[in-house]
A and B are shown apart, each in its own frame.
Chain A
Amino acid sequence: EVQLVESGGGLVKPGGSLRLSCAASGFTFSDAWMSWVRQAPGKGLEWVGRIKSKTEDETTDYAAPVRGRFTISRDGSKKTLYLQMNSLKTEDTGVYYCTKVGYHYETSGFFGGYFDYWGQGAVVTVSS
């Protein structure tokens, strides 16, 4: 059974930093692309960023609002995904979900980018 368990959420002042962790189990973590998705209170879903597998050099991509402030990384030996958040703003407040990226077969090979498993979410509050 796939499980994703986030930790590290909390209250932080504007300009501060926070690191979220996501412990993964039930699948081959090293082969999976992983992603973070967030949701501000009462709002919709927003993609934060993605990290590819180790064999794909753990390449990362980020949404524009967090690029340069947030960093996604992974530790294969611990089967853990991280989200380092720096220079936090009040608009970063919300629930942060760790997700596993799913893929499907096509004639040209594999193609992925949807979120087939989600963690329970970590609450991040940025407020003075």
Chain B
Amino acid sequence: DIQMTQSPSSLSASVGDRVTITCRASQGISNYLAWYQQKPGKVPKLLIYAASTLQSGVPSRFSGSGSGTDFTLTISSLQPEDVATYYCQNYNSAPWTFGQGTKVEIK
């Protein structure tokens, strides 16, 4: 199975800061990677698929990049409503696997 490792596990940043979350796959997954946002007590929401394609309706301050084994999710200017846990997910082949999550808080 492909293991997905996110870093950091948590971070605290100020409003307006640029935030970067990293996701590493244990083997190459091409660009078959998605990112999700889960706000406290809420259902997860798809942000990005195919490593860099923004899902419809997602603010443009979110962006994704990477291919192969190393991927990043960037929030260009952190907003209070971005407080959430973010997960990456591999869908290169079953079993599809998630990273352990990165909790983002406001400093």
Residues of chain A at the chain B interface (Cβ within 8 Å) = 35, 37, 44-47, 50, 61-64, 97, 102, 104, 111-116, 118-121
| Chain B interface, number of residues (Cβ within 8 angstroms) | 26
Cα distance A111–B33 when bound, in Å? 11
**Interchain CB contact under 8 A, B36 and A111:** no
User: Known contacts being A44-B87, A44-B100, A50-B96, is A115 close to B46, with CB within 8 Å?
Assistant: yes
- Interface residues of chain A: helix, strand, loop or mixed (majority): strand
Chain A residues whose C-beta falls within 8 Å of the C-beta of B50 in the assembled complex: 104
Please list the residues of chain B having a beta carbon within 8 angstroms of any beta carbon in chain A.
1, 32, 34, 36, 38, 43-46, 49-50, 53, 55, 85, 87, 89, 91-92, 94-101
Can you give 18 A-B contacts (C-beta < 8 A)?
A35-B96, A44-B85, A44-B100, A44-B101, A45-B36, A45-B38, A45-B44, A45-B87, A45-B98, A46-B98, A47-B97, A63-B95, A64-B95, A97-B43, A113-B34, A114-B49, A115-B89, A116-B49
Contacts of B96 in A (CB 8 A): 35, 47, 50, 113
Chain A hits for B55, CB < 8 A: 116
